[in-house]
Chains A and B, each alone.
Chain A
C-alpha cells in the first residue's frame, strides 16, 4: 500500500488520526428524509461541474455577432454574442447540449430538493433550538438558489428569458422611491442595457456560487458540531444519536445517492429537451412568445402576478403600480415568514428547550396546518401560472378560469390547512398508526377542543425508572474500551460509535448517552450473531415477533380503552415506540 506511508507522514505533521477517527465515526440517522438535503448538495455540485464547462463556451456579451453553424434557420443571422454562443453551444459544440441541458435540469432539481428538505425540517420541528442558525442559513440558500436560477435562465438572451427579465425589472421598478434606482444600479441603465448580461454573468458564475459554497460549508460545519437530530424510538434519547457510522456504511450509501443524482440528471439532460432557445429566437424588445411560462421555482411569482387584480394607487401623486403587491410584497412576506418561523413558534409555544428528538408531524397540528396551507397556496400559484395553457386544454374561457383561480388560491389553502389540522389532531388523539386507522368518531372528536398538550414535551421520554431492564455493558478490547446499550427485551443493542482509550471515558460517554441507565462491565464483546441465512431468518423472525407483540399490545390497549370515551388527559402522545405504553409523564410542565 502506498497510502500508508503517506497517511503516516501527514499524521506526523498534522496529528490527524484523532480527528479522523471521530469524524469517520460520526453517526447518521437511518431515515430517508435525512437524505433530501444531500440531494440538494449533489445537485449543487453537478451545477458547478457542468457550469464550469459552460463558461468555457458561453460568451457573456450583448455585442452583435453573426452565428455560423449547423443550425440552419439561424445560420448567418446577427444576434447578441450571448445568444449566438448559446446556440453554438447547443448545436456545434460536441456534448455541449448535454451539459447545458443537464445544468438546467440540475437547477430545477436543486431548488426542488431544497424545498423538500426545508419542508422536512419544518414539519418535524428540526429548526428548534439549537438549530435555528442552520434554518436561517438554509432559507438564505433557498433565496440565493432562486436568484441564481433566474440569472442563469436570463443569460442566453433569448426571447422567452428576455420577457422574464423584463417582468422582473418591472417588479423591482414598482418599489416605491427606490425601485427605479435599484434597476438602474443593477442593469447600468434602462432595460435592456448592454451591461446587463456581463453583470448577470459574474453574479451567476462567481458571486452567488461563492456565497453558496461558503454557506453550504457553514451549514455542514454546524451540522457536524451540533450532530444530527433523530426521530424518537427505542434507545433514542435527547442525549444521543442512533444510526449508521459515516465510515463505512454511510459513505457508501451517500456516494450511491450522489451517483443516482448524476445518473438521473444526465439521463434528463440527454433525453428530455429543456429550454430550446434556438426555437424561441433572440430577444427583441418588440417581440413576445406565447405561451410564456418561467421555470417552476419562479412560477409562483408569475402566478401571483396573473391573479392579483389590477389595483394600483397613488401616494401624494406618486404611483404604486400593481406588480408591487404580488411581486415585492408577497415575495418579501414569504421570505420574512420563513426567516422568522422558528422565533414565531418559540414565542407562541414558550418552548425554550433544546431538542434533539424530532416531532412526528401529527403531534403539532397547528404547525402542520399552517405548513400544509402555505404549501397549498404556493402550489396553487404555480398552477395559476399556467392558466392560459389550462384554459386552452380545458376549452374554458380564460377569464372564467382566472376568476376561479382568484377564489381557489385563497380558499384552498385554508381548507387544506384545516383538514391537515383536524387529521393531525385525530391521529394524535386516537393513536391510530396511519390515516387508514382513523375512524369517523376520531375525526368528529378532533373538531372539538381537547385538553391542551403541554408544549415541548409531546414526546415524553420515559424516565429510566420506568424503563427497567435497560443496561449498558462495557468491556475492554485490548487496550481500548467499548460499550453498548441493550434495551429491556434485549432485542435491541446499540454499540457506541467508537472505541475509547479508558474505562473512565467509556463510562463517561455511556453516561452522557443514557443518563441513569445501569452500567455493568462484561468480560468481552458479545458473541457474533449467527452468520448467513440463519441470521437473516432470525432477523425476520424477531421483526415479525416485535410487530406482532406491538399489535397485540395495541389491541389490548384499544379493548381496555373501549369503555371510556375520549382522550385521557394523562396519555402521552402516541409515539410509535414501545415506551408509549408507559402512562407516566416525566415531570411534564403544565
Chain B
C-alpha cells in the first residue's frame, strides 16, 4: 500500500529475518548432503533442527518487529440466542409434517436401528478365538501335564544334575518354549532349610516353580541365592523360596505356583501335572 521508506529498525529486522531464513536453507542443504553421504543420525538431526530453528527465528522476529502485536478487539455476542430465535427453530420441529411428531413411526424406527446396532455387535465375536475354552479356563491351563519333559531355553531335556546349586535354570515344557504362561524355573535348595514345603513337592531339594510373578506376570528373573529369594524386576515383589515361594515384600499377594516333577524312566525330569495354581497374574476365578 503505502510506499513509505522503511525505518532503520525495520531494515535491521528485515536483514535479521532474511539471515535466519538463509541459515534455515543451509540447514536443509546440510540435511540433504548428510543423508546423501550417510553421515549418521546425529548430523541429520542437527541439520534438520538448524533448518527449523532458522525458520522459527525468522518468523518470530518477523512477527515481533514487522507486524503489530495486540491492540485489537473483537466483539463477543454471547451464546444464548434471543427467545424469538429459539422459538422459531423449535417451531420448525413442531410443524405438523415434521417427522418428530410421529411417535409411533419413530418408535418403530428406533427399534429397527437398535436391532441393527445389536446385530452389528455380533461380528465382534470373531475377535475371540473360535475353538478355545472360556478365557479364564485357558489362562489356567498350561502345556504342562503328566509326562511333559522339562527342557531348557535351547529345547534340551534336563536331568536332575543339570540344575546346579548356585543358580536358577529357566525350564519350559518340551515343544512349547514360546507359550506365555508356561515358563518355570528350577532351583536346588537345601531341604533342611525349608520353613514350608514347596507346593509342588521337591526331588531332594530340586524344586520347580512358575517363573511368572503373581502380581502382574513379569518373569521373576532376579535370584538372590544366599537368601533363597527371587525378586521381580517390575515392581519388586520378593518371594521366599524356603517358605513355599510366599511373597514377603512388594505388591504380590499369592505364592508362586509350584510344578510337581519326577525323574522319568529315561533319566530326564518330567512334570507329573500342571502348576498347583494358575500361573501369573490373578484374575476373576475360584482357585
Q: Which residues of A contact B (CB under 8 A)?
A: 25-27, 30, 94-95, 97-98, 101-102, 130, 163, 166-167, 169-171, 173-177, 179-181, 183-186, 188-192, 226-227, 235, 238-245, 248-250, 252-253, 255-257, 259-260, 262-264, 266-271, 284-292, 302, 305-312, 314, 317-323, 326, 354, 356, 387-388, 398-399, 402, 485, 493-498, 509-510, 512-513, 531-533, 536
Contacts and interface: CB of A to CB of B under 8 A. Distances in A.
Contacts of B49: 263-264, 266-267, 270
B219 interface: yes
Contact of B72 (A291, A320, A321, A494): A494
Interface string B24-62: 000000000001001001111110111111011111101
A326 B43 CA distance: 43
B283 A263 contact: no
A185 B139 contact: no
A163 B41 contact: no
A513 B78 CA distance: 10
Nearest to B55: A259
B76 A402 contact: no
Interface in B60-86: 60, 62-63, 67-80
B72 A243 contact: yes
Given A226-B79, A239-B75, A249-B69, A176 B284 contact: yes
B161 interface: no
A321 B63 contact: no
B76 to A, nearest CB: 5
A512 B53 contact: no
A387 to B, nearest CB: 7
A287 B58 CA distance: 51
Interface stretch (B92-100, B104-112, B228-236, B263-271): B228-236
B43 A270 contact: yes
Interface string B149-167: 0000100000000000000
A205 B91 CA distance: 45
A529 B179 CA distance: 78
B249 interface: yes
B62 A252 contact: yes
A497 B217 contact: no
B286 A318 contact: yes
B106 to A, nearest CB: 26
A185 B127 contact: yes
Contact of B183 (A25, A244, A286): A286
A289 B233 contact: yes
18 contacts: A27-B74, A101-B41, A174-B283, A180-B285, A184-B129, A190-B139, A227-B74, A241-B73, A266-B52, A288-B221, A305-B215, A306-B251, A312-B254, A322-B251, A322-B252, A354-B79, A498-B74, A513-B76
Contacts of A531: 7
Given A256-B56, A354-B79, A512-B76, A175 B69 contact: no
B190 to A, nearest CB: 25
Given A190-B180, A322-B252, A398 B63 contact: no
Given A310-B253, A496-B74, A513-B76, 15 more contacts: A30-B69, A30-B70, A97-B41, A177-B284, A179-B284, A180-B139, A189-B129, A240-B76, A249-B67, A260-B52, A263-B51, A270-B45, A271-B45, A286-B211, A326-B251
B70 A244 contact: yes
B9 interface: yes
B129 A188 contact: yes
Nearest to A184: B135
6 closest Cβ pairs, A-B complex: A270-B45, A321-B282, A170-B281, A252-B63, A290-B233, A259-B56
A27 B218 contact: no
B31 to A, nearest CB: 9
A94 B36 CA distance: 9
Nearest to A177: B284
Contact of A239 (B59, B76, B247): B76
B244 interface: no
A322 B67 contact: no
Contacts of B80: 354
Contacts of A320: 284
Contacts of A167: 216-218, 234
B61 to A, nearest CB: 9
B172 interface: yes
B102 interface: no
A510 B75 contact: yes
A238 B57 CA distance: 35
Nearest to B142: A190
Contact of B63 (A101, A185, A253): A253
Nearest to B9: A532
Contact of B77 (A285, A302, A512, A536): A512
A263 B53 contact: yes
Interface in B271-287: 280-286
B234 A292 contact: yes
A166 B216 contact: yes
B222 interface: yes
A59 B52 CA distance: 30
A326 B215 CA distance: 12
A323 B281 contact: yes
Interface string B175-193: 0001111110000000000
Contact of A321 (B60, B134, B222, B283): B283
B89 interface: no
Contact of B252 (A175, A248, A310): A310
Most interface-central of B63, B75, B78, B183 (chain A CB within 10 A): B75
B3 interface: no
A249 B8 CA distance: 21
B146 interface: no
A322 B215 contact: yes
Most interface-central of B7, B9, B41, B253 (chain A CB within 10 A): B41
A42 B215 CA distance: 39
B251 A533 contact: no
B283 A173 contact: yes
A443 B75 CA distance: 40
A319 B41 CA distance: 50
A495 B73 contact: yes
B128 interface: yes
A22 B42 CA distance: 45
Given A239-B76, A256-B60, A354-B78, A319 B285 contact: yes
A100 to B, nearest CB: 9
B191 to A, nearest CB: 26
A292 B48 contact: no
Contacts of A356: 76
Nearest to B61: A256
A196 to B, nearest CB: 11
B115 interface: no
Contacts of B127: 185-186, 188
B52 A398 contact: no
B42 to A, nearest CB: 5
B136 interface: yes
B19 interface: no
Given A101-B41, A323-B281, A270 B46 contact: yes
Nearest to A163: B218
A322 B55 CA distance: 52
B124 interface: yes
Contacts of A509: 75
Contacts of B218: 163, 166-167, 288, 292
Contacts of A190: 135, 138-139, 180-181
Contacts of B72: 25, 27, 242-245, 494-497
Contacts of A497: 72-74
A247 B136 CA distance: 60
Nearest to B249: A399
Contacts of A302: 235
A323 B215 contact: yes
